[in-house]
Amino acid sequence: MEWLQLIQYRISMAFLLTFLYFFLPMRYTKPKTILLLLLCFLVTSPGDYAQCFLPDQILPATLLEILVLQLFVLLLCLYRDWRAVMTGIMAACYVLPGNVLCSMLYYYGSIVGKNPDYTSAAFAFTVQIVVHAVFLLLLILFCRKQYLSVIEDSRIHWGGICLSLALYYVVVCTMMVWPTNFYKYPQKGVPILLMLAAMIFTYFFVFNLVSAVKQSEKLKHNNELLEAYAAALKREVEHEKKSKIEMAILRHDMRHSANLVFSYLENGDTDKIRGMLQQYVQRLDHTVVANYCKNTAVNGVLTAAAEFAEKKKVQFQCRADVPKQLQVNEFELLTVLLNLLENAVNAAANVKEPEKRFVHVLMHPAKDKTILEITNSYAGTVTFSHETGLPESTRGEGHGYGLRSVQAFSRKSHATFDCEAEEGIFTVRMLLPL
């Protein structure tokens, strides 16, 4: 019986570590991660052996195995905080249903089977493996992407969620060993399975709720960007319309002004002619619409950024060579530009010395790609997150989505993206397939 229980534990550990491979945001490369998981499988073997063959050492062996497993989880996980601990607990909970079913089937199979030691055990292990595999496949298909997305947000109170999940796990484990050992008396498997069902339902409910809140925040942020995008296009149209009206007025006034020039010439009054010409130059300057590039939408965003910089008393310089037609999603690209330019202008506006407030934008083609570089001055210090490699927002909750959305766009569009801060100058660079 002890050897059969040890095999069950080892099967369980193999699937538990497989769960971690798919659901932990990994810090290392895939080959190194697999090697560490294999090492964990070997290191935890003595603990499983002690639980099966040394009844007096079950509690310390169990606690030691949990500690070793969580240390490996912290080592492997990109986030070395409560999120890593929580994922480790979820992995341990994930294998419980298969383990309980395996024990129940072996127990009842040994009662009615002709060869209880091997036939019922083989059937029980087969069911255990199938349950683990099917459950893991369903989780990967329907939950993995959502889970990895939600777990990126470090602002969520993961410690509290982790505690609630740990309590569920402790309750189920207590039911399995107290007042009688479940592996020797599997008759109480039904209430344990009901508790596991309640635990699984709670897990899904909590993470769906967290995901819904995060999605709501993301939609709110996207709506704000969409409004800014629409306002930039509207401003571009209004500028064009205003320019045409002013040019029409100038053409209307040209005939009267020409007659005045002739009169001044006959009288030799060159000073008045000079004054009239200066006024016309000034009026012509007001009719000029900023034209940074051929793409109307991008030009509108750049124009809006220039006006925003002017209001913030920030020097704005831009050189852009962008084609009319884009290979990437135009709205997503404009969202990226809005994010980057808003961040740049706001950062530069915080510099105390007015002459040091600047934002420089450069967009130019390079073979079949376009280089985007935005440089701005900033005050204070910039702290980069170890998790994302991006600057951490100092504006509190609800902020910090800008550069994360830029990073997501880069991955989706197969673009490269990096940023750096040095000696009061922050630089963002992107290589876009335009």
State the CATH number of the domain containing residue 357.
Answer: 3.30.565.10
Paired tokens of 316:
């704005």
In a domain, 246, yes or no: no
In a domain, 264, yes or no: no
Question: 308 and 194, same structural domain?
Answer: no
What are the b/e assignments for 156-189, b being 16+ CB within 10 Å?
bebeebbeebbebbeebbebbeeeeebbeebeeb
Is pTM beyond 0.85 here?
no
Question: 207 and 313, same structural domain?
Answer: no
Write the pLDDT tens digit of every residue in 28-45.
Answer: 889 999 999 999 999 999
Q: What share of the chain is helix, strand, coil (3-state, %, to 5)?
A: 70, 10, 20
Question: 297 and 403, same structural domain?
Answer: yes
What are the b/e assignments for 400-423, b being 16+ CB within 10 Å?
bbbbbbbbebbeebebebebebee
In a domain, 287, yes or no: no
CA dihedral 24, 27, 32, 34 (to 10 degrees): 0
Residues with pLDDT less than 50, the chain: 111-115, 395-401
Question: 298 and 201, same structural domain?
Answer: no
User: What is the C-alpha to C-alpha distance for residues 365 and 311, in angstroms, rounded to an integer?
Assistant: 30
In a domain, 271, yes or no: no
Give the pLDDT of residue 257.
67
Question: 173 and 30, same structural domain?
Answer: yes
Question: 187 and 302, same structural domain?
Answer: no
User: What is the C-alpha to C-alpha distance for residues 84 and 146, in angstroms, rounded to an integer?
Assistant: 16
Q: Which of 216, 231, 255 is the last residue of a domain?
A: 216
User: What is the C-alpha to C-alpha distance for residues 333 and 118, in angstroms, rounded to an integer?
Assistant: 63
Give the pLDDT of residue 254.
66
In a domain, 254, yes or no: no
In a domain, 299, yes or no: yes
Question: 306 and 212, same structural domain?
Answer: no
User: What is the C-alpha to C-alpha distance for residues 430 and 417, in angstroms, rounded to an integer?
Assistant: 5
Give the pLDDT of residue 286.
52
**What DSSP state is assigned to residue 387?**
T
Give the pLDDT of residue 115.
47
Give the pLDDT of residue 263.
72
Question: 153 and 296, same structural domain?
Answer: no
Question: 64 and 190, same structural domain?
Answer: yes
In a domain, 236, yes or no: no
Give the pLDDT of residue 39.
95
Question: 201 and 68, same structural domain?
Answer: yes
Question: 298 and 210, same structural domain?
Answer: no
Identify whether the C-beta of residue 89 lies closer than 8 Å to the C-beta of residue 162: yes
In a domain, 408, yes or no: yes
Residue 352 main-chain phi, psi, to 5 deg: -70, -45
* Structural domains in the chain (count): 2
Residue 372 main-chain phi, psi, to 5 deg: -115, 125
User: What is the C-alpha to C-alpha distance for residues 83 and 320, in angstroms, rounded to an integer?
Assistant: 43
Write the pLDDT tens digit of every residue in 187-210.
Answer: 666 777 777 777 777 767 766 766
Q: Given strand 315-320, what is the order of strands in its sheet?
A: 315-320, 358-366, 369-377, 425-432, 416-422
Q: Which of 201, 216, 231 is the last residue of a domain?
A: 216
Classify burial at 118, counting beta carbons within 10 Å of its beta carbon; exposed 0-12, middle 13-18, buried 19 or more: exposed
Classify burial at 380, counting beta carbons within 10 Å of its beta carbon; exposed 0-12, middle 13-18, buried 19 or more: exposed
- Gyration radius of the chain's alpha carbons: 33
Q: Which of 153, 187, 216 is the last residue of a domain?
A: 216
Whether the upstream peptide bond of residue 179 has omega within 30° of 0, thus cis, is yes
Residue with tokens 């913030």: 312
Angle between helices 158-177 and 82-94 (to 10 degrees): 30
Question: 123 and 21, same structural domain?
Answer: yes
Per the structure, the complete domain to which residue 110 belongs is given by: 2-216
**What DSSP state is assigned to residue 114?**
S
CA dihedral 372, 377, 383, 387 (to 10 degrees): -10
Query: Cβ–Cβ contacts within 10 Å for residue 94, how many?
Result: 22
**What DSSP state is assigned to residue 350?**
T
